Amino acid sequence: MGDERKAPSLLMRTLSWLVMVLLVLLAGAFAALTLGTFASLMSDSPLWLRSLGGVEAALSGALGTAGVPGFTRALGLAVLSSGLLALAAYLKPR
């Protein structure tokens, strides 16, 4: 008759929070690599940002995407970071 929804169990709420936090942390890591990749395209950027770009270049080489231009990789990482944050916001327990 009425709209009878069961409250989510404590385990499901805990898992939802855990997944959301992991997605936010992963998105933060991708965002840092994005900044490093954009910084490595400029010669006058700070050393610590260019170091992040070096980490991203090493990871790209390990994944076999080193042939892709840096700007394209940075844009792809930015889109991936945004998508992960959107997914985390969607999955956030209410």
Task: Evaluate if residue 1 carries a pLDDT over 60.
Answer: no
The domain spans of the chain are: 34-94
At residue 6 the predicted structure's pLDDT band, cuts being 50, 70 and 90, is: confident
N-terminal to C-terminal alpha carbon distance within the chain: 24
Share of the chain above pLDDT 70, in %: 95
45, 73, 57, 38 alpha-carbon torsion, rounded to 10°: 0
28: pLDDT strictly greater than 90: yes
- Output the pLDDT for position 39: 93
Q: Average per-residue pLDDT in the chain?
A: 90
